[in-house]
Each structure stands twice: as structure tokens, then as C-alpha cells.
Amino acid sequence: MWRRNILHKRREEVKAALSDKLFILDPTFGPVLLYHRGLCKELENYRLVNLHSSSKDGLTLAEFAEKQNEQRKFLKSKIMEASQFSRARYHTAIKAVLDELRQRINEFAHEEE
């Protein structure tokens, strides 16, 4: 009997741990997390410093500074765009979870009456 109780307790602990760690499988937040991961992977492909030159002689210091300024502006716009998309998706997912929670609370309150 005690062995079965111990095994049951261990199984419940492992189940809880997996539930916490497998957040990606959540039907509400899973797609949001995968989308966010994709955005991060896309941002990862962009270069912080642009060393490409169209001439064989290279770049002057002024040309290099201008190219880096353009690259920083480009990266800033991409990061801001990704941030806005992610925030909107997270906001929608959180709203959906809260709406579901409110609905459950209302159903529970009506059951007790």
C-alpha cells in the first residue's frame, strides 16, 4: 500500500514538473511562443555591423560611419516591429486566458446558486 502511495506521489510530482516545462504545448500560448521564437531567429540573422563594400578599395571612415548608421536604423526598425507584433500577440493570448477564467468563475458562481 505505501509503495503505491509513494509511486503515485512521484508520478504527480513529475506530471506537475512536465506541465510547467511544456508550456509550449499550451493551446493558447504555444503558438504565440513559437511565433516569438521565429521572430527572434529572424532577428538573429541580421548583422549588427555591415562590413560589405561595393568598391574594391574599401570604405572611407565617413562611408563606414554612414553605413553603420543606416544598419543601426534598419535593425532598430526591425526590433521595434518584432516587439510590436509580439506584444500584440501576447496581449491577445492573455486576454483570451482571462476571458476563459472569467467564464469559469461565472459558471462556478451560477452552479452554487
Query: What is the full DSSP assignment across the chain?
Result: -HHHHHHHHHHHHHHHHHHHHTGGG-TTHHHHHHHHHHHHHHHHTS-SS----SSTT---HHHHHHHHHHHHHHHHHHHHHHHHHHHHHHHHHHHHHHHHHHHHHHHHHHHH-
Report pLDDT for 91: 94
Report pLDDT for 77: 96
Domain boundaries, the chain: 24-112
Report pLDDT for 98: 92
Report pLDDT for 71: 92
Report pLDDT for 113: 66
Over the chain (113 residues), the average pLDDT of each successive run of 10 is: 82 78 76 88 88 76 90 94 93 92 87 72
Report pLDDT for 20: 67
Q: In the Cβ-directed half-sphere of 57, how many Cα atoms lie within 13 Å?
A: 4
Report pLDDT for 34: 86
